[in-house]
Amino acid sequence: MTIQDLPALNASLNALCTVFLLAGFVCIKTGRKKAHVILMILALLTSVAFFVGYISYHAARGGEVTVFPKEFPVARLIYLGILIPHSILAALNVPLVVLTVVPAIRQRFDRHRKLAKWTFPIWMYVSVTGVLVYMMLYQWFPSEVKARVAVTGESGNREKVIGVESPDKSGVVEFDSNIFEYHAKPEEDVLQVSFVMRNRGEGVVKITGLETSCSCLDVRSDKKELAPGEQALIEADFSLSKLAGTAEKFVYVKTNSPAFEEHRLSVKVTIDPLFEIEPTMLDWVEGEQPKEKRIKFRVLREKPVNIVSVTTRSEKASVHLEIVEPGKVYDLLVKPVSTEDTLLGMIRIVTDCEIEKHRNQLAYFSVKRAGDEE
């Protein structure tokens, strides 16, 4: 596990805590006191584990906070509307939980019940919104805004860095180049990138913040302050596990320099696909004849890959595999049982690819209403 995995783990702990809280509430309302005690202890332990994970994550990042991207102003307002009461109530929840648990241990259940009327809804809100905060910040609204200023270094066996000189050399902050391009292999999981930042001025430059546009980057700096003439090494870990094709992500460096308050560092990565699925979505129109249609699956590399199984959970369509060229080309034959009603389904394609993250592929099919076709 890496530091990048902690936000997802913490969100999972919040979700698990929510389940324990709800189950514990149901048990006490139905008179199952022993089950209630066990479930509430589990909820408490899960919250403690979340707290440890949360502190560990921010400690490892030097106190840096991931900021909701400015490219989604409406979503950002909703996010802040959730986050602010979440943060306040999370702080309030800690002493409330302690005050509620202690009377239960002492078997003063009348006081326990009075406090639980306040503690339970606050604890539930904190747990549920903890998951929402994670989903909004790391999954639903990753920033894809174009950026300009960046610098990189080379290490290991990476390919040549293509850089363009910074257009403005007059300020105290300077970068060597403004774009990093890398052609990754399909089996690579993490790309490590180095950025060199220099202070060309006469005063001290402080790095006041390091932020990223999405959860794909973990970024840190070896220095927080740069004396005149000094340079800082900013390192970023770029996760490639969920990427395909070309992706561009950004790191935002904030300083105390009035002329250079924020810099945006760009990382552009291209990953050659292993497979071609054409089309990825099959469509029928509601009421048309449910004819069989094909999805072409091609292996794009020299080493063969075999399809092990093709399945769909939908009972309203069938899918069959036809081998055109073993290890290279396959046809997926898809046919809906009926087109009388709308339908949306997924096809899971399992291969024997030795690269685990590419082993499972997906395709889709649907029956649309007439007039909904694009």
Residue carrying the six token digits 């449910």: 290
The two tokens of residue 92 are: 């309030």
Helix residue ranges, H only, 279-320: none
The Cα 64–Cα 57 span in angstroms is 10
User: For residue 220, what are the β-bridge partners?
Assistant: 235
Closest CA to 334 of 274, 293, 288: 293
Closest by alpha carbon to 327, among 352, 355, 356? 352
Question: Which range is least confidently modeled, 80-94, 106-120, 148-162, 345-359?
Answer: 148-162
Question: Phi-psi bin for 66: left (phi > 0), alpha (psi -120 to 50), beta?
Answer: beta
- Convert 75-128 into a string of H (helix), E (strand) and C (coil): HHHHHHHHHHHHHHHHHHHHHHHHHHHHHHHCCCHHHHHHHHHHHHHHHHHHHH
Confidence label for 212 from pLDDT (cuts 50, 70 and 90): confident
Percent of the chain surpassing pLDDT 90:
25
CB-neighbour burial class of residue 324 (10 A; exposed 0-12, middle 13-18, buried 19+): exposed
pLDDT digits (tens, 9 = 90+) for 273-314: 899 999 999 999 998 999 999 999 999 989 999 999 999 988
pLDDT of 152: 34
Specify whether the CB–CB gap between 195 and 150 falls below 8 A. Answer: yes
pLDDT number for residue 65: 62
Note the pLDDT of residue 164.
Answer: 32
User: What dotted CATH number matches 275-368?
Assistant: 2.60.40.10
Q: pLDDT tens across 6-62, in order?
A: 788 888 988 998 999 899 889 888 888 889 889 989 988 998 898 888 888 777 655
Burial bucket for residue 13 (CB in 10 Å: 0-12, 13-18, 19+)? buried
Instruction: Label residue 105 exposed, middle or buried (CB < 10 Å: 0-12, 13-18, 19+).
Output: exposed
Strand pairing class (217-221; 329-336): unpaired
For 129, the enclosing helix (H) or strand (E) is: helix 109-134
> Under a CB-based contact definition with an 8 Å cutoff, are residues 82 and 60 in contact?
no
- Is 0.95 surpassed by the pTM of this model? no
Q: If you average pLDDT over each of 95-104, 171-180, 204-213, 298-307, which comes out highest?
A: 298-307
Tell me which of 146-150, 189-193, 343-347 is least confident.
146-150
**DSSP code, position 138:** I
> What pLDDT is attached to residue 4?
62
Is 60 exceeded by the pLDDT of residue 107?
yes
Report the alpha-carbon distance of residue 258 to residue 55 in Å, rounded. Answer: 32
Fold adopted by 173-271: Immunoglobulin-like (2.60.40)
For 127-157, write each residue's pLDDT tens digit: 999 899 888 887 787 543 333 333 333 333 3
